[in-house]
Amino acid sequence: MLFVPKALAITNEPLTLDPFDLASGGAVLTRATQNDIPAANPALLPYGAKKLRWLGLRTAFYAGASSVTLAQELLKDSKTLQKQTNQDFLNLALDHPLHLGLAEILSFITSHFGLAFFANSQPDLKAWRNGDPATGAGTPEIVFHNESYGGVLASLAGRSPYDWLSFGLTAKYLLISQGVVDLDITDTNAVDEAKTELSEQDFTSPARGYGIDAGTLLFLQGRVVDFRLGLTADNIGGMRLSKPVTDGPTLSSYNVGVGFTLHGDADAVHFAVDYRDVTNAYEDPLFKRIYAGTKIVFHRILGLATGIYNGAPSYGLELDLFAIKLSFTEYTREYGDSPGVDPREIYIVSFALGTYF
């Protein structure tokens, strides 16, 4: 009755993903926001204008579009709510999956070194009238799952003898807490099993582990056009874990990405495509392993982004007001194994406070 479908956990994508990078499809192997470089590709560190890059904290709030609608329904006047029957409440829950999330990252980034402390959590609750498309049997079903990741990333990078080639390593210590509770309401044992699952501390006692990622970047810089090719190897030799993790970012995998930039003195257009988990170690469907998108940056103040994430469009904008960065992103995360099976349209509002040097 209780299981962890592969589709529900973060597997092949980076541990931290800046909302603006997510808006451009999540393609970060060849270009990433400063605070996410340790997780994206440490070989990106050496490329930039200054030695000291970023010191700051970013906080992002996630809310499913349907959660916002549900909140609006629940905030209606109390008389309306009192008149609602069990069926009305059930229909409200069936039509509005609940998805919330919080992510924070505190990072210090230089041209050769990066250190990031991060934590993110995204619980999700969905009720199905006739069962989940993968595991349902025709009767109402409630699926709750939580993914919580936290830890430390420390990166070192340098350029090879050639200016256009860099290498980097990221050492990571992770706390992973994830679990799924799947309740078919016709199964009288389901509640007992759920209690057992919780008491086995899947939610309260995270798995701890450490691992190493490596990356390389080929960067051909032109007067108007740049070309990048990025390669990363995640969890080299596997991850050492304190207890088994059914699904999570713990397998050895390889990723490749290409990027192009058209740029002037202050403006730039970035195109990037990533193909993650080339050997399909996580057995994710293809549409979840391809990330692609575009960013446009105007005078380093306003950024617009669009892309494809999990096979669906993503959008966003970012305002970079020196010490403060604000961003808004809309994207769709697919929890099913095929596009459109169990999508969540998610809004992210992000606030970063920090300093560029």
Partner 1 sequence: MTALPRHERLVFFILLFFMGACGQTSLIMCSVRSTYCVSQTEDEKAMLALNDGDYALAQQILEALIAKYPLEYFRYPRLAATYASEAGFLLTNIVDLNTSASSSLFDQVRAFLPTPNAQDLGAFQGQLKKMGQARSLLLLMPKIQRMQGTSFYGASAEFQLVLYQFAYSIMFLNQFAVMTSSGKLDPKILATMTVADAVLIFTNLAQAAQYAGLENPSFGQAVAEVTTQIQAKDGADDRAKMIQFLQTQNE
Binding site for partner 1 (CB under 8 A): 1, 3, 85-87, 90-91, 94, 128-140, 184-190, 220, 222-227, 260, 262, 271, 273, 285-287, 290, 292, 308, 311-312, 336-341, 343
Q: How far is the CB of 126 from partner 1 (least distance, A)?
A: 11
User: Which of residues 224 and 321 has its CB atom nearest to partner 1 in the complex?
Assistant: 224
Q: Residue 289: phi, psi to the nearest 5?
A: -115, 0
Q: How far is the CB of 158 from partner 1 (least distance, A)?
A: 25
H or E segment and range at residue 93: helix 86-95
| Nearer to partner 1 (CB atom), residue 104 or residue 193 | 193
The answer to whether residues 149 and 16 touch, using CB atoms and an 8 Å cutoff, is no
Between 262 and 281, CB nearer to partner 1: 262
Euclidean distance between CA atoms 194 and 338, whole angstroms: 27
The SS3 assignment for 247 reads: coil
Nearer to partner 1 (CB atom), residue 7 or residue 174:
7
| Cβ closest to partner 1, residue 264 vs residue 340 | 340
Strand 253-263 versus strand 290-298 pairing type: unpaired
Shortest distance, position 87 Cβ to partner 1, whole Å? 6
Residue nearer to partner 1 on the CB measure, 103 or 190:
190
CB 241 within 8 A of CB 195: no
**CA-CA distance, 234 to 27, in Å (whole number)?**
16
The kind and range of the H/E element at 36 are none
The distance of closest approach from Cβ of residue 141 to partner 1 in the complex, given in angstroms and rounded to an integer, is 9
Angle between helix 86-95 and helix 65-74 axes, rounded to 10 deg: 160
Whole-number minimum distance, CB 332 to partner 1, in Å? 9
Residue 108 C-alpha from the chain's centroid: 20
Nearest one of 10, 12, 6, 9 to 234, comparing CA atoms: 12
For the CB of residue 334, give the shortest distance to partner 1 in the complex, in Å. Answer: 10
Helix or strand (DSSP H, E) at 27: none
Amino acid identity of 271?
A: F
Report the residue number, 77 or 86, with the smaller CB distance to partner 1. Answer: 86
In whole angstroms, the minimum distance from the beta carbon of 290 to partner 1 comes to 6
Q: What is the DSSP letter of 250?
A: -
83 vs 223 by CB, closer to partner 1: 223
Nearest residue (CB) to partner 1, 104 versus 187: 187
Report the candidate in 274, 214, 217 with the shortest Cα–Cα distance to residue 47. 217
Contact between residue 99 and residue 66 where contact means Cβ atoms under 8 Å apart: yes
* Nearest-approach distance from CB 313 to partner 1, in angstroms: 8
User: CA-CA distance, 178 to 120, in Å (whole number)?
Assistant: 12
Instruction: Locate the DSSP E strands across 276-337.
Output: 290-298, 302-309, 312-321, 324-334
Q: Which of 257, 216, 222 is nearest to 236 (CA)?
A: 216
